[in-house]
Structure 1
Amino acid sequence: MFVRMSVVVLLALVLSACGDASTVGNEAVSRSLKPADAELASIYNRSCRSCHTVAGTGSPLTGDKIAWAPRMAKGINTLLDNVVNGYGGMPPLGLCMDCDADQFEALIVFMATGQ
């Protein structure tokens, strides 16, 4: 019984360490992504990148389709409303005071898909 319990505890520790490694991997991938459109890339770099490439912020990482799926399921109008009014730790307008709805939508889609 003790040996079986020890194996279970050891396995849980190994698997939890794997979770930490995948977060780092997701951050690295997230940091490597940028919108193809130069104007959108500029907006992303100044307004979105600092939070959406760092797992510790609690915001969904750019390109993390699993984290974005439940958000995208709410619909683009809800997500746009969240951006404009702020949501959780995200400030109103996502720190882009001069962005329009089309740019916000394009940024949301880019961050949700990585493309």
Structure 2
Amino acid sequence: MKLQTEKGVITISSDVFTNITGAAATNCYGVKGMAIRSTTDGLVHLLRRESMAKGVKVIYNDDATISLELHIIVDNGVNLMAVSRSIMSEVRYNVSRATGVEVKSVDVFVDSMVIG
């Protein structure tokens, strides 16, 4: 994504958005980690800290905003609605604050629940 300022052009890569989003989401209560569905066996896998950005998809909108899709794994017994709202709020705030880009929407997909 390119941002025009009075001093020049700033280019922000997708990796910046995915790393900020992954870090913000995993810091929320009840989130065990980011998830990815394996193409070989179709199972959902918990991503390690260094590769958690794979659980995030960035969509660039025509109006210079972005939309984010997150795939997460949560702890058993948490209120899914409360956790999802917390993630949406935290991600929207952190991405906007760090990059200056408006976040149009944040979609949270709970792929799995971990017991214990």
Establish whether TM, by shorter chain, passes 0.5: no
More strand by share: 2
Structure with higher Rg: it is: 1
